[in-house]
Chains A and B, each alone.
Chain A
Amino acid sequence: MKRVLALLLAVGLTAAACGGHKSGSGGKGNALTISNEQGTTWTCGFNPFNASVNFLSFGTEYEELTYVDGLKSGATTPWLASSYAWGNGNRTLTFTIRPGVKWSDGEPLTAADVVFTFQLLKKYPALDLNANWSVLNNVTQKGDKVVFDFKTAAVPYFYYIADQTPIVAKHVWASIKDPTTYKDTHPIGTGPFKMSSCSPQVIKYTKNSSYWQKGLPKISTVYYPAFTSNDPANQQLASGKAQWGSQFIPNIKAFYLSKSSDNHIWFPPVVNVCIYINQKDPVLSNLAVRKAMAYAIDRKKVASIGEYGYEPASNQTGIVTPTFSSWLDPALATQVNYDPAKAVSILQAAGFKKKGGLFYTPDGKPLSFTMINIGGYSDWVASAQIVAQELKQVGIKITPENLSSQTYDADTYNGKYQLSYDGNQTAGPSPYYELRSLLYSKGSAPIGKSAGEDWERYANPAVDKLIEEYSATTDSAKQHAIVRQLEKAMVDDIPVIPVTEGVDWYQYNTKNLTGWVTQSDPFARPAAYIPPDWGVLLLHLKPKA
């Protein structure tokens, strides 16, 4: 017995002695370590059309035709295509493919590869994540040019075709039997990095020394460890082991910023977190109720308490500021401000009666609603609670219901809710993308059927027409005018109530590397999980002299 204990003690002491040194690696000189909790270990698959792994290869190995900057209202940079042009009443889009670009196996990139990529998406709808073929007629090659022929004018699809579709090599992918279940463990791409080793815990990328942008990339190695929970990931950022973070860190001043003067953060707002109001609900279909709710919510309070001030307050137009400020109609932006007295007077004017602190409809139904939200997102739970308190003060009762994210999403998609606290929309390079997914009734579905857009079942033919008109124009002034009219619909009809502005989480360390995205130079969306933007950011990084 004694011997066993002594042995254990000895083992313990040796281990402690061995463990005395700290392994600080990854940050020195030419290497970068990313710390971004994805809640998963790596499969070591890199199929750029697989939604669960595409952010690991699209931007580093695989590249886009034209880079579109989501933080600069869609400013374009030529990439694999040296130029593009619209024609035929915005129904034809022609890309000229850049000469001299090589795949990482030495073969040259040609227009045939681009055509092949899009034919692949047509043949396998499971790969067509952005539904390109819902608007495309055909894609053909003309020498070094690729011509996209659309069913109708579809200008906004430029973003999906040029920026969001990774181009793959015909000579590699043509022989793959089922590209849907193809793992792609050793991607052959045109990009600045090559995957050099992968384990479930970490992916190592090394520089592609024959990259077509001469002299780039300036960093040689990128480590992308897998984190299954937030705390270890945050810890790596705080200790400086990782230099690029893309996740929520609670109490970030004390936990991260105070650890080093080289630690920086910037959270650019990109998309709204909204309350979806089910337009098919008999009580909520009354505009007065929706208006009263929009006036009764103190968005600033929700932002500062529920979201720790990291996410700014939204405005009713649905335009995310300051990212898209140039699109905002300032008069509309301040029209629906926090004003509980006005909320009460709107309800009274519409014939609602207050009894025991709660408003009732003229036919006697109480203004009492359930609001579903995701129980796992602690900040949204807190925000929903604050919204409920605010509405209670004007006499509208909200019962937040915390659901698992699956139940929650299934209910939201199928329209089985009264109010839903959500951010289902994705950010795009202009506010149009978000407004379309909030308002376009042709993308919606009847209650009980899964809707891909317009989850609140708003239907306004005039708005649908505006959205289609936007699709037909490349004229920036005209686009701005249309978006302003959409803002007006948001303010007049209150189909949803934008509450806070969702952000890209971004932490970075400037000790050894410079060239990061900053507020004054937003050349890419800075979260490490956004394809292909993360590749653009990596190309800008360089070691400090």
Chain B
Amino acid sequence: MRFVLRRLAFFVATLWAAVTLNFLIPRLMPGNAAIAMMSRFKGRLNPQALHALEVAFGVNNHQSLVSAYFTYLGNVFRGHFGTSLTFFPDSVAHQVFQALPWTLGLVGVTTILAFVLGTLIGLAGAWRRGGLLDGLLPPIFVITSAFPYFWLALLAIWLFGIKLGWFPESGGYDTTTTVGWTWTFAVDVVRHSILPAATILVTAIGGWILTMRNNTITVLTEDYVRMARAKGLTPWRIMWTYAGRNAILPNLVGFAMSLGFVVGGAILVEFVFNYPGVGWMFLQSVENQDYALMQGLFLMITLAVLVAILVADVATAILDPRTRERS
């Protein structure tokens, strides 16, 4: 109980700090939203439009920083994030919820897949150390995970998208397909997600393989594994319940954190593939000094990461009795 309470107190303190930083940092940037809009449409907007934009965005409303901070805190707790200036006059919530499913679908699924596959390959590799699987897969994926993501993605687009024409090279769905809950649209979405998903997988999986493999090798030398062997348990059972269960512990927190970061999207992926997700939106909000959108996104990421860590802490406590006893 004390353990959970302590974790909760920590959670609240971190949340407050994050929310406050979230408010302050964007305001340290130079310029204002109206000027940012003028820059975005450089040479296309009559210079006279600056005044109109300042009026529309409430740039010169002279609210003090302190009162703005408390208004902001109040709005955050009521879940009001205001109007996005990048997507003016759309609300932040509407924009984010429009982009979130794409990111969750693409980045979320690939993160889980990378973890599951990486863990399995790492475990199997360590179990048959020096075997065919161990000699082949870990080195390959460690190398691919060292590739710069954008380079690999561009290469994939060039090869599979342009040269071979197997997969569409950009977008979340074909621009001429009607959006809706139809079979054609679903197939189209899946086809569009294959290249980005594959490239994320290939670059993300190596880390999980390597840590899982090394953890397993260490665990395999432990006395309790020798004991299990001496008792004559099946290798299958030793691999899963003795080696696997212990080796996966350090990776759990890492996995939880990466799950939390999923809602932040994958800026590079979304940028290169023109994918309509949250990561790209994040970049836009910063470029356009869109405080409201920035704050909404930051808060969502912070919350997701904090919750994920909390869950990972609890999961570790359940999986590993030692952590419970110590606290």
Show the binding face of A for B, using Cβ within 8 Å: 1, 4, 8, 15-16, 18-20, 22-23, 25-26, 33, 39-41, 43, 45, 47, 50-52, 55, 125-131, 134, 160, 164, 180-183, 197, 199-202, 223, 225-229, 231-233, 235-236, 239, 271, 374, 405-411, 413, 423-427, 437, 443, 450, 452-453, 502, 529-530
Q: Find out whether the CB atom of A406 lies under 8 angstroms from the CB atom of B289.
A: yes
Q: In whole angstroms, what is the CA distance A183 to B87 when docked? A: 10
CB neighbours (8 Å) of A181 from chain B are 83, 88-89
Q: Is the CB of B276 within 8 A of A22?
A: no
B90 touches A45 (CB 8 A): yes
A427: B residues at CB distance < 8 A: 43
Partner of B98, one of A18, A182, A200: A200
- B37: Cβ under 8 A from any A Cβ: yes
User: Do A235 and B170 touch across chains, with their CB atoms under 8 A apart?
Assistant: yes
Task: Check A52 against B52 for contact (C-beta < 8 Å).
Answer: no
Interchain CB contact under 8 A, A232 and B47 = no
Q: Is the CB of A51 within 8 A of B41?
A: yes
Contacts of A424 in B (CB 8 A): 42-43, 47
Write out the residue numbers on chain A whose beta carbons fall within 8 Å of the beta carbon of B162: 235, 239
Instruction: Check if B51 sits within 8 Å of A125, measured CB to CB.
Output: yes
In the complex where A25-B174, A129-B52, A235-B169 touch, is A183 in contact with B44 (Cβ < 8 A)? Answer: no
User: Taking the nearest CB of chain A, how far is it from the CB of B218, in angstroms?
Assistant: 21
User: Contact: A425 with B187, CB < 8 Å?
Assistant: no
Answer whether A19 and B191 are a contact pair too, CB < 8 Å, given A40-B86, A232-B170. yes
Q: Chain B residues near A197 (CB, 8 Å)?
A: 178-179
Contact of B274 among A232, A529, A530 (CB under 8 A): A232
Contacts of A408 in B (CB 8 A): 39
Residues of B within 8 A of A22 (CB): 165
* Cα-based distance from A242 to B29 in the complex (angstroms): 38
Shortest Cβ distance from B49 into chain A, in angstroms? 4
Are B43 and A425 touching (Cβ within 8 A)? yes
Is the pair A453, B274 in contact by a Cβ cutoff of 8 Å? no
Q: Please name the residue on chain B nearest to A455 by beta carbon.
A: B47
Contact bitstring B110-146, A, C-beta under 8 A = 1, else 0 = 0000000100100010000000000000000000000
Instruction: Give chain B residues whose Cβ lies under 8 Å from the Cβ of A183.
Output: 89-90
- Report chain A residues within 8 Å CB of B52: 51, 125-129, 131
Q: How does the 8 Å CB contact mask read for B230-243 relative to A, with 1 for contact and 0 for none? A: 00000000000000
- Across-interface contacts of A426 in B (CB, < 8 A): 43-47
Cα of A426 to Cα of B29 in the assembled complex, Å: 26
Q: How far is the CB of A118 from chain B (nearest CB, A)?
A: 14
CB-based A-B contact count at 8 angstroms: 195
- Interface residues of chain B, those whose CB is within 8 Å of chain A, are 29-32, 35-53, 55-56, 83, 86-90, 95, 98-99, 117, 120, 124, 154, 157, 161-162, 165-176, 178-179, 187, 190-191, 194, 270-274, 276, 280-281, 284, 287, 289
Can you report 8 residue pairs joining A to B where beta carbons are below 8 Å apart? Answer: A52-B37, A52-B41, A131-B51, A180-B55, A201-B173, A236-B170, A406-B29, A502-B43
A7 to B43: give the CA distance in the assembly, Å: 54
Q: How far is the CA of A409 from the CA of B41 in the complex (A)?
A: 12
CA distance A50 to B90 in the complex (A): 12
Query: How far does the Cβ of B215 sit from chain A's closest Cβ, in whole Å?
Result: 18
Are the CB atoms of A423 and B173 closer together than 8 Å? no
**How long is the Cα–Cα vector from A155 to B41 in the complex, in angstroms?**
26
Q: Knowing A125-B52, A408-B39 are in contact, say whether A43-B95 is a contact too (CB < 8 A).
A: yes
CB contacts (< 8 Å) of A225 on chain B: these are: 171, 175
Which chain A residues lie closer than 8 Å to B271 at the CB level?
228-229
Complex: chain A residue closest to B55, CB-CB: A126
Separation of A324 and B53 alpha carbons in the complex (Å): 31
The reply to whether B276 and A4 contact each other, CB–CB distance below 8 Å, is: no
Tell whether, in the assembled complex, residue B40 and residue A52 are in contact, meaning their CB atoms are under 8 Å apart: yes
Closest 10 CB pairs of A and B: A232-B170, A126-B56, A410-B31, A181-B89, A406-B31, A131-B48, A202-B175, A126-B55, A405-B39, A232-B274
| Residue ID in chain A nearest B172 by CB atoms | A201
Instruction: Verify A406–B30 contact, CB threshold 8 A.
Output: yes
Identify whether the interface residues of A are mostly helix, strand, loop, or mixed: loop
Chain A residue at minimal CB-CB distance from B166:
A19
Q: Which residue of B lies closest to A224 (CB)?
A: B175
Docked complex Cα distance between A197 and B178 (Å): 9
Which A residues are in CB contact (< 8 Å) with B41?
51-52
How far is B39's CA from A413's CA once the two chains are assembled, in angstroms?
A: 11
Which single member of A20, A26, A50, A232 contacts B89 (CB below 8 Å)?
A: A50
A223 CA / B37 CA spacing, docked (Å): 25
Given contacts A4-B120, A16-B166, A235-B162, contact A407 B31 (CB under 8 A): yes
Cα distance, A146 to B95, chains bound together (Å): 40
Contact between A228 and B274 (Cβ–Cβ < 8 Å)? yes
Residues of chain A lying within 8 A (CB to CB) of residue B166: 16, 19-20
Q: Which of A55, A180, A232 makes the CB contact (< 8 A) with B169?
A: A232
A131 to B89 CA separation, bound complex (whole angstroms):
21
Q: Which residues of B contact A437 (CB under 8 A)?
A: 47
Q: How far is the CA of A437 from the CA of B273 in the complex (A)?
A: 39
A129–B191 contact, CB under 8 A? no
Please indicate the chain B residues that have their CB under 8 angstroms from the CB of A226 in the complex: 276
CA distance A55 to B55 in the complex (A): 20
Complex CA distance for A453 and B46, rounded to whole angstroms: 10
Instruction: Report how far A127 CA is from B56 CA in the complex, Å.
Output: 8
Residues in A with CB closer than 8 Å to B38 are: 409
Complex CA distance for A153 and B257, rounded to whole angstroms: 65
Is there an interface contact between B48 and A409, defined as CB atoms closer than 8 Å? no
B41 nearest in chain A by CB position: A51
Task: Say yes or no: A180 contacts B179, CB within 8 Å.
Answer: no
Cα A41 to Cα B283 with chains together (Å): 12
Interface contact B39-A406, CB-CB below 8 Å? yes
The one of B98, B175, B274 that contacts A229, using a Cβ cutoff of 8 Å: B274
B174 contact set on A, CB distance < 8 A: 23, 25
Which chain A positions have C-beta within 8 A of B90?
Answer: 43, 45, 183
- State whether A130 and B48 are in contact (beta carbons under 8 Å apart), knowing that A50-B89, A199-B179 are contacts in the complex: yes
User: Measured between C-beta atoms, what is the minimum distance from B170 to chain A in Å?
Assistant: 3
State whether B39 touches A409 (Cβ < 8 A).
yes
Cα(A58)–Cα(B43), bound, Å: 18
User: Which residues of chain B come closer than 8 Å to A127, judged between CB atoms?
Assistant: 52, 56
Q: How far is the CB of A332 from chain B (nearest CB, A)?
A: 25
Residues A410 and B35 in contact in the complex (CB < 8 Å), given A45-B90, A201-B171: yes
Using known A-B contacts A22-B165, A406-B36, determine if residue A223 contacts B170 with beta carbons closer than 8 Å. Answer: no
Enumerate chain B residues within 8 angstroms of A134, measured Cβ to Cβ: 48
Separation of A199 and B185 alpha carbons in the complex (Å): 13
Contacts of A55 in B (CB 8 A): 44
User: How far apart sit A374 and B40, CA to CA, in the bound complex (Å)?
Assistant: 12
Given known A25-B176, A130-B48, A180-B56, contact A423–B31 (CB-CB < 8 A): no
A224 → chain B, closest Cβ, in Å?
Answer: 9
Residues of chain A within 8 A of B98, CB atoms compared:
200
Q: Is the CB of A231 within 8 A of B89?
A: no
Contact assessment for B274 and A200 in the assembled complex, using a CB-CB cutoff below 8 Å: no
Cβ B35 vs Cβ A406 within 8 A: yes
Q: Is the CB of B48 within 8 A of A129?
A: yes
A43 vs B284: C-alpha distance when bound (angstroms): 13
